[in-house]
């Protein structure tokens, strides 16, 4: 019996999004029947979550009675948090808990709860999680190991402008750079710039707490992502998937960068590209392990138009494709396609199920569709199947059906 608590905390731009607490529901897709799911309370929360019946029908997710809402705050002492959640914590204290499985190790609440429950914790320390997420860390590791785009750490506008000047003086500079906050995620508070004036404008009009990085940007034809799990004694490669992006209007300070929509596994990259990804990511993930980092970690790569491979992001946490990958393992599927979807507001999970009917995954099947993180017209859907071609074909059928119930 594991405890899943995907509290999102410590990310610039992400923490401020209204309703971000509901993203903790994603962990339901990782839970086994007997596992415990903790969710941060928000005003519209439903316990059990509205999509749990569909997840259970697919043979995934926890029992409905194993889902609890909690009210933790990082501005309060542990004793205050304990008092505010006494009933839930007393329930947990009586259970044969095995492991604690968070989204990220960055939250101090996670470590307080692990210590209180005296439960096995197989993730990183808080300090290493912050170190690994820092965008300047990958730049530094790139200077050491190679194959990371050149970049500079900047604390204020003048340093961003100086960083642009340094990049523009490089031989074969692409003419574009990306600006990112130190502890950013999902492209929020990031932008692609092509002139010094654009650098000045973005940094002037968007708050980057403590600064950020400016890094050379490459046009790319694909963006594979490699995921690992670092154990005490070894580094386990989990999978390499292809990322799916979509254009999005400026939001929360994001200007001109792609928003991650989903992932497809297995990757369509050729053997030579896959070898480069593994070769380039291996010394970086080994560096994390040597410092004592434990748990999940992913590296986003890009395949530039000249077929060169660059490591562009380090994500020391549970990443989006985990929700497809671990479900596929449970269901003995050999491929998955995960994507964020939008349908008509007010549509219920049951109405969605009725609309898609036999395309949905069942307990006894390893091929089909399941959904999670359902919230007023938005959800994430995953196709499981026996091959990349198989999941792509099912996905196309689902998209035609979803088009009938979009806003």
Return d(Cα 81, Cα 72) in angstroms, integer: 6
pLDDT digits over 281-333, tens only?
Answer: 999 999 999 999 999 999 999 999 999 999 999 999 999 999 999 999 999 99
- As a whole number of angstroms, the distance between CA 31 and CA 326 comes to 10
Q: How far apart are CA 308 and CA 313, in angstroms?
A: 16
Q: Collect all residues with Cβ–Cβ distance below 8 Å to 150 and sequence separation of at least 6.
A: 139, 142, 167, 170, 215, 216
3-state SS class at 100: strand
d(CA 314, CA 184): 11
pLDDT of residue 211: 92
pLDDT for residue 42:
87
* 72-100: b (≥16 Cβ within 10 Å) or e: beeeeeeeebbebbeeebeebeeeebeeb
> Tell me, what's the pLDDT at 252?
43
pLDDT at 206: 86
pLDDT of residue 255: 45
Biggest alpha carbon–alpha carbon distance for the chain: 63
Residue ranges of the chain with pLDDT lower than 70? Answer: 13-19, 186-188, 246-259, 407
pLDDT for the residue 387: 97
């Amino acid at each position: 019996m594991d405890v899943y608590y995907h509290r999102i905390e410590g990310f610039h731009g992400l923490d401020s999004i209204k309703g971000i607490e509901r993203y903790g529901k994603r962990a339901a897709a990782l839970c086994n029947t007997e596992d415990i799911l903790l969710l941060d309370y928000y005003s519209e929360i439903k316990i059990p979550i509205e999509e749990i019946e569909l997840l259970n029908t697919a043979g995934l997710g926890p029992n409905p009675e194993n889902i609890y809402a909690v009210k933790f705050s990082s501005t309060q002492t542990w004793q205050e948090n304990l008092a505010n959640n006494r009933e839930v914590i007393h329930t947990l204290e009586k259970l044969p808990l095995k492991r604690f499985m968070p989204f990220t190790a960055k939250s101090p609440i996670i470590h307080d709860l692990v210590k209180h429950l005296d439960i096995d914790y197989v993730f990183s320390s808080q300090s290493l999680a912050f170190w690994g997420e820092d965008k300047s860390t990958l730049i530094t590791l790139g200077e050491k190991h190679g194959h990371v785009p050149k970049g500079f750490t900047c604390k204020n506008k003048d340093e961003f402008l100086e960083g642009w000047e340094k990049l523009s003086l490089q031989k074969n500079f692409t003419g574009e750079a990306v600006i990112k906050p130190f502890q950013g995620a999902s492209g929020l508070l990031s932008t692609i710039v092509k002139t010094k004036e654009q650098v000045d404008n973005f940094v002037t009009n968007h708050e980057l707490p403590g600064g950020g990085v400016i890094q050379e940007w490459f046009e790319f034809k694909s963006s594979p992502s490699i995921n690992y799990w670092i154990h005490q004694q070894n580094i386990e490669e989990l999978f390499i998937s292809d990322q799916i992006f979509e254009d999005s209007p400026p939001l929360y300070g994001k200007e001109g960068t792609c928003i991650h929509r989903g992932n497809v596994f297995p990757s369509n990259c050729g053997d030579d590209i896959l070898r480069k990804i593994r070769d380039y990511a291996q010394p970086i993930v080994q560096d994390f392990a040597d410092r004592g980092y434990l748990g999940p970690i992913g590296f986003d790569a890009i395949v530039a138009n000249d077929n060169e491979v660059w490591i562009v992001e380090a994500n020391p946490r549970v990443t989006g494709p985990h929700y497809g990958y671990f479900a596929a393992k449970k269901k003995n599927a050999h491929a998955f396609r995960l994507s964020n979807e939008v349908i008509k507001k007010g549509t219920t999970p049951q109405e969605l199920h009725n609309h898609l009917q036999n395309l949905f995954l069942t307990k006894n099947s390893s091929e089909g569709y399941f959904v999670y993180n359902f919230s007023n017209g938005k959800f994430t859907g995953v196709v499981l199947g026996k091959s990349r071609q198989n999941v792509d074909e099912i996905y196309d059928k689902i998209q035609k059906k979803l088009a009938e119930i979009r806003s």
